[in-house]
Amino acid sequence: MAAIQKLLNIALPPLSLVLLSSFMIPFLIFKVLIYVRKLFQTDENGRRGAVLSLVDIREDNLVVVAEKARSLGSPDVIIIAADVSKLQDSRRFVDQTVNHFGRLDCLVNNAGIGKPSGFKDWSNASEFTSIMDVNFWGSVYGTLCAIPHLKTSRGRIVVIASALGRFPLPRFSIYSQASKAAIINYFETLRMELGCAIGITIVTPGLVKTDLGVTLIKKERIMEIIPMLSASELAESIVKSACRGDMYLTEPSWVKVLFPFKLLYPQLVDWASRLFFALSPKINNSATELKPE
């Protein structure tokens, strides 16, 4: 077995370079053809009468959203109070939606909470378990309950992750590396398992002007130099991307140029990130002891 491992270590790196080079031109041609096809596709307009089921842990948060949707032309909007981090609530909102509309065509996993903080700021386990419960399990539970209905309609899942899940930064360990990276990996695996039965669009936004984004800026002033995307601009891009059947959407698109650097030059990215956030190169042993919930 050791000899086989040694052989693979020697043979696979040069072989992979040859394969990558040989696939590059055909793959680029394929990507160009896909891009041209999308240019001639008619984007679904959000004002064309989509019926909506809006879910939030607080029902009163949805009233204004529902009224806005109706004013834009939605013929039927229902609101459901549910905690998506609980399996029974997720099953209930899916069942209520299907019972009301008779079908389910698209599930948008958008629930998310978080705060900018490094490992030394975490002293209570319940602080980060709640983030994983909402950000990760809140998407997984609803998806598992919706899959049978989405298979029937050959529908689509849209999951809102984060660019931080692809390009982690200091002081966002639980939010980005844990919850958002977990979401990306889970839904990429699910896409392979489901095949063509259900489409999955994974959204990795940059800095968005939401309550969470504004809180981030207030805590990390250095982030003010990064331009923020409005929530409405992101929503419009998501609708167009999902209707085109995209596998991925990163907005703003310039954020995508960062991802290869993390893969190819991890040492450089780590050094630049520490410099950007003014982190000391010395080991910090001041972290408080983690306490159970």
Residue 203 belongs to some domain of the structure: yes
Q: Give me the percent of the chain exceeding a pLDDT of 90.
A: 47
Both structure tokens of 275: 């410099």
* Cβ-based neighbours of 161, under 8 Å, separated by 6 or more: 180, 183, 184, 187, 202, 203, 204
Q: What is the pTM of this model?
A: 0.83
* Nearest-angstrom CA–CA distance, 226 and 23: 35
User: What residues make up the domain containing 268?
Assistant: 105-276
Q: Flag whether 17 is in a domain.
A: no
- Tell me whether residue 25 is in a domain: no
Count of the separate structural domains present in the chain: 1
* Averaged pLDDT for residues 197-214: 89
The CATH number linked to 267 is 3.40.50.720
**pLDDT tens figures, 212-243:** 777 777 777 677 778 888 999 999 999 999 98
Indicate whether 281 belongs to any domain. no
How far CA 159 is from CA of 6, 33, 76, 138, 191, in Å, comes to 40, 26, 23, 11, 12
Spatial distance between the Cα atoms of 131 and 291, rounded to a whole number of angstroms: 16
The encoded tokens of residue 203 equal 């959204």
- Can 175 be counted among the known catalytic residues? yes
Name the catalytic one among 175, 186, 248, 265: 175
Give percent above pLDDT 70 in the chain: 85
* 201 found inside a domain: yes
- Classify residue 121: in a domain, yes or no: yes
Per residue in 39-79, pLDDT tens? 666 554 556 678 999 999 998 889 999 999 999 889 999 99
